[in-house]
């Protein structure tokens, strides 16, 4: 039994047209207009594949395919929201690959013992509404409903209001029940599989991630008359912080750190910046490494304050601990690769995924597909049809192993 990769490629291409940019990528930030159009498209495909679709109180979309037995389902899925000017495979491959698994089972007349469910998680990226993996985290009990509903975007719009506005505010009773197992197909978004010459990978875990926001308060003043010795330039201080953050990661093996978002006030040519608000994204495979990075950042803040006479407030608002996936579920993925005669890598994910929070509530694992140039979160993101087909077939056969057939 194999998936029909032409159909999968076609649906990835159709979904990519929603919020498309002129060069092949696109923007479908959570709960925006393009996200709604993408959701409507996916919902139609889910229903056309015979799935009974429901939407929960976080906007998570769940399509159910009955098994011979009742009881916990094997859940397959990922997310359809994107970063700004992201790629067409990040997240979408996991939702549409899961849909392709359902179509293959339908085409081959296969009844699974356990029910199968396909899920599109709301707001995995955490770009418009920080933090990431928010609605798989909410269903897994990591985030309270009020917290999620009250998160606001840069324009002050609330999550709950936006969910209602796009017509995807469903019921708590329609949340996915704790699954028997969870599988997520995703592009690697890094260089490991390509460097090893492998099409797919068995993902054994996800690194730890912590997000902070630094608010640098200086004093706005005229860019001309104000002597240098009297200035409290918030942007000059923030610049020291940005390069110091990068230096922290270079000094610790396996660490990565990024300042991806930065806002300057008043942001005009002839005023000394009075305030800067910037993000800090720190990642490490171990809890100790993550805490070493945070301690290094706190020391750096103290040094920059002492040197530049600004005040810097750090708000550490999200931490996703390093996560190892379930050995039994990993065995099912490995056995699927072997059964298909596919060479496969074994690696950890440097990117966060909804599977992290699913592992909190059920045995979970991920399957990676090779990323060309290791690129992602950019419009150049690409995976070949052959690699996409290999990944989707691994998902199909791992799902069948976990769900059983009658
Ligand atoms: O940030 C991440 O790693 C994921 O893409 N949300
Ligand atoms: Mn993703
Ligand atoms: Mn992503």
Q: Could you report the per-residue pLDDT of 92-148, keeping only the tens digit for each?
A: 999 999 999 999 999 999 999 999 999 999 999 999 999 999 999 999 999 999 999
Q: How many other C-beta atoms lie within 10 A of the C-beta of residue 332?
A: 23
pLDDT at 5: 85
Beta carbon of 94 within 6 Å of any ligand 1 atom? no
Confidence band (pLDDT; 50, 70, 90) for 328? very high
Most informative mutation of 29, 82, 86, 125 for ligand 1 (most atoms within 8 A of CB): 125
Shortest-distance ligand to the CA of residue 82? 3
Residue 24 has pLDDT above 80, yes or no: no
**76, 119 in Cβ contact below 8 A?**
yes
Separation of alpha carbons 5 and 19, rounded Å? 23
Separation of alpha carbons 71 and 77, rounded Å? 19
Each residue of 25-58: pLDDT tens digit? Answer: 899 999 998 889 999 999 999 999 999 999 999 9
Confidence band (pLDDT; 50, 70, 90) for 218? very high
Beta carbon of 355 within 6 Å of any ligand 1 atom? no
Which residues hold their Cβ within 5 A of ligand 2, which is an ion? 90-91
Q: How many other C-beta atoms lie within 10 A of the C-beta of residue 260?
A: 12
Separation of alpha carbons 40 and 43, rounded Å? 5
Beta carbon of 387 within 6 Å of any ligand 1 atom? no
| CATH class for the region spanning 208-319 | alpha beta
Each residue of 388-398: pLDDT tens digit? Answer: 999 999 999 99
pLDDT at 225: 97
Beta carbon of 127 within 6 Å of any ligand 1 atom? no
Residue 4 has pLDDT above 90, yes or no: no
**Mean pLDDT throughout 345-366?**
98
**Ligand 2 centroid – CA 90 distance (Å):** 5
Task: Read off the DSSP letter of residue 351.
Answer: S
Each residue of 136-175: pLDDT tens digit? Answer: 999 999 999 999 999 999 999 999 999 999 999 999 999 9
Domains of the chain, by residue range, sit at: 5-207+322-403, 208-319
Shortest-distance ligand to the CA of residue 126? 1
Would you tell me which CATH number, out of the four given (3.40.50.300, 3.40.50.720, 3.40.50.150, 3.40.630.10), belongs to the domain 5-207+322-403? 3.40.630.10
Which residues hold their Cβ within 5 A of ligand 3, which is an ion? 90
Beta carbon of 207 within 6 Å of any ligand 1 atom? no
Q: How many other C-beta atoms lie within 10 A of the C-beta of residue 140?
A: 20
**Ligand 2 centroid – CA 131 distance (Å):** 13
């Amino acid at each position: 039994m194999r998936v029909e990769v032409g159909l999968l490629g076609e649906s990835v291409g159709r979904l990519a047209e929603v919020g498309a940019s002129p060069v092949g990528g696109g923007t479908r930030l959570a709960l925006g207009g393009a996200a709604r159009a993408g959701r409507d498209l996916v919902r139609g495909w889910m229903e056309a594949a015979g799935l009974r679709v429901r939407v929960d109180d976080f906007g998570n979309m769940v399509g159910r395919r009955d098994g011979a037995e009742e009881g916990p389902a094997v859940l397959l899925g990922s997310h359809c929201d994107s970063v700004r000017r992201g790629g067409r495979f990040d997240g979408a491959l996991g939702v549409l690959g899961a849909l392709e698994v359902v179509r293959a089972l339908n085409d081959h007349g296969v009844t699974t013992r356990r029910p199968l469910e396909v899920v599109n998680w709301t707001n995995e990226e955490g770009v418009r509404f920080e933090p990431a993996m928010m609605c798989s985290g909410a269903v897994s009990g990591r985030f309270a409903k009020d917290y999620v509903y009250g998160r606001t975007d840069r324009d002050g719009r609330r999550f709950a209001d936006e969910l209602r506005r796009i017509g995807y505010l469903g019921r708590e009773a329609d949340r996915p029940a704790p699954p028997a197992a969870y599988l997520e197909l995703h592009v690697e978004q890094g260089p490991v599989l390509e460097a090893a010459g492998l099409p797919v990978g068995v993902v054994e875990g996800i690194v730890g991630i912590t997000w902070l926001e630094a608010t640098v308060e200086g004093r706005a003043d005229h860019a001309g008359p104000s002597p240098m010795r009297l200035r409290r330039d918030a942007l000059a201080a923030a610049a020291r912080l940005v390069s110091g953050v990068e230096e922290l990661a270079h000094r610790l093996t396996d660490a990565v750190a990024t300042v991806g978002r930065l806002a300057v006030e008043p942001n005009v040519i002839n005023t000394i910046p009075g305030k800067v608000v910037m993000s800090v994204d720190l990642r490490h495979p171990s809890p100790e490494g993550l805490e070493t990075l945070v301690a290094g950042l706190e020391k750096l803040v103290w040094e920059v304050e002492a040197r530049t006479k600004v005040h810097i407030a750090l708000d550490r608002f999200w931490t996703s601990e390093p996560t190892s996936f379930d050995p039994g579920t990993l065995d099912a993925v490995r056995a699927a690769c072997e059964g298909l005669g596919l060479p496969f890598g074994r690696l950890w994910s440097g990117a966060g995924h909804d599977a992290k929070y699913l592992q909190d509530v059920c045995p979970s694992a991920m399957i990676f597909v090779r990323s060309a140039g290791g690129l992602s979160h950019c419009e150049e993101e690409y995976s070949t049809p052959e690699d996409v087909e290999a990944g989707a077939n691994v998902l199909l056969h791992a799902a069948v192993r976990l769900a059983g057939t009658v």
